[in-house]
Chain A
Amino acid sequence: MHPDDRLLFEKSRPGMNAIEAPRPELPKGAESLDTASLLPAELRRQSATDLPAVGQLDLVRHYTRLSRKNFAISTTFYPLGSCTMKFNPLINETVVAEPGFADLHPYQNEDDIQGALGLVFELERYLAEISGLPHISLHPAAGAHGELTALMVIREHFRKIGEDDRRTVLIPDSAHGTNPASCTLCGFKTVELKSNEDGLVDIDDLKKKIEAAGPKGIAALMITNPNTLGLFERRIQEIAELIHSAGGKVYMDGANLNALMGISRPGDFGVDIMHFNLHKTFSTPHGTGGPGAGPIGVTDELEPYLPIPRVVKDGERFRFEENRPSSIGRTRAFVGNFGVMVRAYTYIRALGRAGIRRVGENAVLNANYLRVLLGKHMAVAHPRLCMHEFVLTARRLAKEHGVKATDLAKRLLDSGFHPPTIYFPLIVPEALMIEPTETESKSTLDAFAQAFGQIIEEAQKNPEKLHQAPTTTPVQRMDEVRAVKQPVLRWRRG
């Protein structure tokens, strides 16, 4: 191992630090303070933290070297399905660092944060217009958090109208894992809906399961549209009507909203409540796993239950509103991930109404183009027009050559591309789920398709090469069994 690749703790040399800690500066009248006796002995820390002691250059080198071991959008095509890895415009990062956004406190006098509150208010208005749902809350911290918050809104609504026995939530088998996990946290029971041959909700199965839930059993349907196969639910209005006539609410997982922006609005096709992922659709960076933001949008009927605080406008003045007796309450502290909202607002203002529609159009154009190119090498699970993404199946390759989706993914790393999402959705065997996004150029898509074609050829002629891939990355395939059976979850002094 190169010595610079060691852990921080192994580079530590007692006495070093990367920055000088500030020294206390005492106000007048306090010069004689006995600083040793400020805490009772039993509350004083006795144990060493053992934090690393590293000089500034070593620290800069440490993190710079680490950063270079990552694949990122700024270096590589990153077509993860359902993750919308689009370009993160640099202006967003510049403006969010303004002290007028970064250095604000949630408990400041509202007169001192009118710009910030105005931004929250306007961003809500834009999301309402894009989704066709009139009320937005920017409170939730991420997509799954938005789902949970939204399900709480639904539960609270039914509690309020005396129908708290509605506990069944229908979820298609192609859904994200967060959907059922969020239901459990909300006291709901999930029932899986089968997809039909076309990869869409099976209407007969839907009817059967609505009936099985009993006359006042259905709380909601959680649907992703376009779904995780990249297909638009053509019969969405009929589906929504079935749910509504059973007294349930239609929830939409907005992970795939990118395909619809400016073209079709969930609120117009029967959705009552949905979440957005600002870190997918609205270009705020994924940051190696967050922070994101998972705003929710609702109809008038569900508005009273939205979490607090709300931002409201009185005349020309914006203020927080907390006194909302029907609200579910808070699902986190403070207004939300404001730093993420600033970026999303900036993005929407940069694009404007025409730019936003072009996002959807080009996301679908890029996905279909890549589908056609890759479809020459491997079966597309549903070979017809897709929306923002599509799913390939490596089933034949696995059967005939012993090369699995994971092997293809690893070999793509050797070609310098980040692989697509694999083994999802669960209903497609050996799935590769590909979402190129609108920000990639044709030449990048061509290059990816060419590399993919070569790998397929290699898989047939020399499958062993794929089993051994990747070989060009900082490490090769990791022993994940060992990671669980002999867990090492932190460094310890040896």
Chain B
Amino acid sequence: MPYIQNTENEQREMLRAIGVESIKDLFEPLPASTRLGRDLDIPVGMDEASLRRHMIELAKKNRPLGDGPSFLGAGRTRHYVPVIVDHLAGRSEFVTAYTPYQPEASQGSLQVFFEFQTMIAQITGMEIANSSVYDGASALAEAALMALSLQKVDRIVVSKASHPEDRDTLRTYLRNLDVELVEVPLKEGRTDLDATRKALEVGASALCFQSPNFLGILEDGAALTEIAHEAKALSIVSVHPLSLGVVAPPGDYDADIVVGDGQPLGCPPYLGGPAFGIFATREKFIRRLPGRIVGQTVDGQGRQGYVLTFQTREQHIRRDKATSNICTNNALMALRGAIYLAAMGERGFAAVAESCLVQAHAAARAITQVEGCSLLYDGQPFFCELAVQLPKKAKEVNRHLAKKGIQGGYDLGRFDPALDHAMLLAVTEVTSGDDVDRLVAALREL
């Protein structure tokens, strides 16, 4: 077996050194009643060539998004991943290292995360960021927990326009902590400001909203943040990180915590994971921040270097009083995000975002020229996803598109049964003009 490197002779030598006769003797500490005593019911092993063939066969039973035009978004959007990301993030010194607890042996990872934290702070407009959490949904839950520990009001308000899976996650996390979770309704595809003000009247630790929201529409983040602050609640914003190339970042309108899913930054969609969770906030909240943080310092010789810092917040030291239970995070995916942002640079990052914005609006214009198709919330600002009203049920439309080799959009009937004649279409910089032409042609056939 190629993953075990001792010959039978060596194994015998080792057993002799230990002072036992056989491998079986090594398991003497296990009472007989705890032993399995039979073979596992798992297929026999495979050689590499057969295994590779088997895996390719399994992969072929799936239809990758890239096989044709695709308009599916709703939490995972397709973007171009520069080859430099795969090459550099695939280096085994990153892939096979552990969490950088020994700083002298991990300066590579530590500097990467210091730079990652900086770039996340730069794009969100916030003071500081941690070195990632699991995903956007759990980032939102962690942000709510952080707000609860800072503001100490057992109530969280969340916009119904936030991703349904994010809201589910938030609900699950809060369920066992005697915290009330209140959802604010929508008006014209955006969070209803009056209803928000009302929901916050009795106080809350935080107002959570997403911009662009689940329907693709950009929220009035400044107004929502102001409403939150009037009620002494923190403003927690979930972002699509690439939108920040063209859209005002939450830091510019005084948000307190910014979270999001980092998938658009150099991560393949992977059926939903892994990517990484973004978490940025104010420096004064540092002691309440969940997850790992890298700081710059010097060694005994005065040389600049990096360490994991403020570790007393974390579970391995503070145990039951830790700010979060998170240990392993999504570091390698965060590294992908860092390389992506560095490769794009200031100019490229803005250009990709601009591309998404332009392509999506161009697509909107082309699609709304089809009879029976219109924007669900015409006139509302959006980034790269558009909610489209259709002449037929979204389910039927998607079936028709599939026949034409097109991966359609997200059926909004799943979000709200009243919207079953609408779908959410994602259009990004990888959506070609030809893709949209094909979609439009197919929609005309309805």
Contacts and interface: CB of A to CB of B under 8 A. Distances in A.
A–B direct touch in complex (beta carbons closer than 8 A): yes
A372 B298 CA distance: 39
B299 interface: yes
Interface stretch (B37-45, B197-205, B229-237): B37-45
Contacts of B128: 489-490
Dominant SS among interface residues on chain A: loop
A355 B1 contact: yes
Contacts of B357: 35, 38-39
Given A237-B34, A478-B307, A44 B246 contact: yes
Nearest to A23: B355
Interface string A436-478: 0011111000000000000000000000000000100111111
Listed from nearest, the 4 A-B pairs whose CB atoms lie closest are A334-B272, A100-B59, A352-B45, A115-B61
Interface string B86-122: 1110111111111110111111110110110111011
Contact of A177 (B109, B317, B350): B317
Contacts of B129: 490
A353 B46 contact: no
B283 A489 contact: yes
A490 B115 CA distance: 7
B356 to A, nearest CB: 9
Contacts of A323: none
Given A178-B325, A330-B137, A231 B123 contact: no
A59 interface: yes
A237 B33 contact: yes
A74 B91 CA distance: 10
Contact of A332 (B109, B114, B138, B218): B138
A285 interface: yes
In which size bucket is the chain B interface?
35 or more
Interface string B131-144: 11011111000000
Contact of B348 (A21, A112, A178, A334): A21
B407 interface: yes
A17 B345 contact: yes
Given A104-B269, A141-B138, A333-B135, A24 B58 contact: no
A352 B2 CA distance: 13
A493 to B, nearest CB: 10
Contact of B325 (A30, A148, A268): A148
A312 interface: no
A3 interface: no
A7 B115 contact: yes
Nearest to B322: A181
A203 interface: no
B52 A91 contact: yes
A344 B417 CA distance: 38
B300 A477 contact: yes
A52 B345 contact: yes
B219 to A, nearest CB: 9
A14 B1 CA distance: 53
B293 interface: yes
B95 A287 contact: yes
Interface in B16-72: 17-20, 23, 26-31, 33-36, 39-46, 48, 51-52, 54-66, 70, 72
Nearest to B176: A187
Nearest to A384: B29
Contacts of A262: 36, 39-40
A286 B59 CA distance: 24
A63 B129 CA distance: 21
Interface string B1-24: 101111000110111011110010
Interface string B258-281: 000100000011111110100000
Contacts of A1: 303-304
A80 B40 contact: no
B150 interface: no
B208 interface: no
A141 B135 contact: yes
B39 A354 contact: yes
Nearest to A97: B86
B372 interface: no
Given A105-B72, A288-B98, A44 B315 contact: no
B342 interface: yes
A70 B107 contact: yes
Contacts of A7: 111, 114-115, 118
B245 interface: yes
Given A42-B222, A232-B29, A490-B114, A100 B61 contact: yes
A324 to B, nearest CB: 12
A95 B355 CA distance: 32
B332 A285 contact: yes
Contacts of A179: 319
B343 A289 contact: no
B377 interface: no
A354 B432 CA distance: 50
A489 B117 contact: yes
B28 A385 contact: yes
